[in-house]
Amino acid sequence: MSAVDYSAWVELIHQKAEQLRVVFLQLGSSNEPARRALTSSHLAVQTVRTYMKPDRERVEGTLLLDNMEDLAVTSPDVAMGALRERVFADVDAGTRVVLLSRAPRIAYPAVVGSSLLDDASFAHAPVVKSNGPEGFPACVEDGTDPTPLLRQALSELGPELCASLDRALYESMLTGETALSTLSARELEALDGAGITAPNGATRSWNFSKHLVPLKSALDDVLSDDLDPQHQLTDVSAGLWKIERIIRREIRKRAVTAWGGSWRQQCLNADLTEKVLERATEEAYLAATSIKHLRDPLEWLSLGELLQLKDRTEIGDLGLNAAFWRRFGAQIMPIRNRLAHMRTLRPDDATNVVKWQRVLELRLLKSGTSAVS
């Protein structure tokens, strides 16, 4: 039997479902007792997979769809669009639906059109205030070991959010409210659901002592233990591949136009020529003694070095104005570095890469056409 009385909170969730019809509720492993209290209350419980079977019957009253986090993986069995259609058909017929997930909304892959997770009203997990993972309800009530539980809670948040925490806590060395201020609204909501922070009206606080030591320690383990590719990896790597090759091709075209057959030697300054030749001979062109022996010296430049070539009058801005190029550099270079060093990608990385890929395709490949972004 639960030591804490969750009945008021459970009643609140029921009321919210009654009023707002579709509710999304994130309850991580740290909140396992609340999950038990809710699933054993007066409602029907189905896993999302069972719910999507063709022969299922509509539930009267309130339906709790469990294991929603199954849809947060790279290739979920159930498409979010199909789930949205079914949920709304049932809601129209009078059913109330609670979407119960261990993963936060931010951990789900972006959908193409309207999103069920955005259409649903958001419900909060019970507010837990503590000074460390020992205060998590699962530890207090079930006696779960706090250290692995905290790791589990971070894993459930997804690698992108862990990367955001990494940036705030390690890279920026922030603590307290300052660290929280670097996170987006959806990220903060996720931390509440995992019991890592506690909301207090419009503000929130960490559920850890001042220097967040246990959290940082768990974050170390989770990030270093994460071996699976992130779901945005395909988009990011494919996008960066295309971006860099588009730029390289356009620079090459301009260089050939400007310098003809001697473009290889003319394009790079003396310093870069030396570096490129060294890199190429070390890895591939074992017999090359001059830059003119390389098929394409641009392939041996980093993205930063490649972009510097735009400063040459003969190359120019490639059809994209300076303000765009500045922004491109500021957004794309760090992502490329993260990928080059196989570090965890951040939540916005795929969006930014796809965005710049589209801009370059439009401006560098299709300039003059009427196509739209």
Partner 1 sequence: MAKIRVHELASELGVDAATVLARLKLLGEYVKSPSSTIEAPVAAKVRATFGVRTPRPAPRPSPVRRDHVDPYVDSPTFDPTAPSSRQHGWRAGAVPVPRHPDLLKNIQKTRQRFPAFGDHLDALRSLGSQVVYAGPCKQDGFKDCVIVHVRFSGAIEAGFGFTREVMLFYSPHEDLQVRTFEAAARELAKKDQPVTPDIFFMWSPDQRLGIKLNDWSRPSKLAIPFLIDDEDELSLITLLRNHIYARDLFYMTTPVFGASFFGRRTLLQSLRDDVFNQQVTGVFGLRKSGKTSILMQLKEELHDDHIVTVLMDLEAFPSPPEDPTDDIVSDLRRRLIAELKTHKLRTQELSQLSDRPSILELKNALQVILKHLWKDGYRILLLLDEIEYLTPADRIDIAEGDMPRVAQLLSALRSIVQESENFTFVLSGLTSAIVEAGRLYGRPNPLFSWAKAVYVKPLEREEADELASTVGGKMGIQIEPGALEALHEASGGHAYLYRNLSSAVVRHLPTDVFQRTMIRSAVLTELDDWKSRVQGNIEEMIQHVKRYYATEAVMLELLMDDPGDFKELAPSEHVAVRRLKDLGLIYERDGEYQASVILELV
Which residues does 157 contact at the CB level (< 8 Å), separation at least 6? Answer: 28, 103, 104, 107, 190, 191, 194
Total Cβ atoms within 10 A of residue 305: 14
**Residue 323 touches partner 1, criterion: CB under 8 A:** yes
Choice between 243 and 267, CB closer to partner 1:
243
Q: Is 184 in the site for partner 1 (CB under 8 A)?
A: yes
Can residue 368 be called a binding residue for partner 1 (CB under 8 A)?
Answer: no
1 contributes a contact to partner 1 by CB under 8 A: no
Among residues 292 and 327, whose Cβ is nearest to partner 1?
327
List Cα–Cα distances, 325 to 2, 147, 238, 317, 356, in angstroms.
58, 45, 20, 8, 10
Quick one: 177 or 296, whose CB is closer to partner 1? 177
For the chain, report the end-to-end CA distance as a whole number of angstroms: 57
Q: Backbone phi, then psi, for 198, in 5-degree steps?
A: -130, 125
Instruction: Please count the other Cβ atoms lying within 10 Å of the Cβ belonging to residue 316.
Output: 15
Contact residue for partner 1 among 85, 171, 220, 274 (CB under 8 A): 85
77 lies in the site for partner 1, by CB under 8 A = no
Q: Write the DSSP assignment of 176-196 as a string of letters.
A: HHHHHHTS-HHHHHHHHHHTS
Q: Determine how many CB atoms are found less than 10 A away from the CB of residue 273.
A: 17
**Minimum CB separation from partner 1 for residue 25, in Å?**
15
Binders of partner 1 in range 292-321 (CB under 8 A): 321
Q: Contacts with partner 1 in 86-125 (CB under 8 A)?
A: 88, 91-92, 94, 105, 110-115, 118-122
Contact status: 205 vs partner 1 (CB under 8 A): no
Name the residues that contact partner 1, by CB under 8 A: 18-22, 60-61, 79, 81-82, 84-85, 88, 91-92, 94, 105, 110-115, 118-122, 184-186, 189, 201-202, 235, 321, 323-324, 327, 348, 350-352, 354-359, 361-362, 366, 369-373
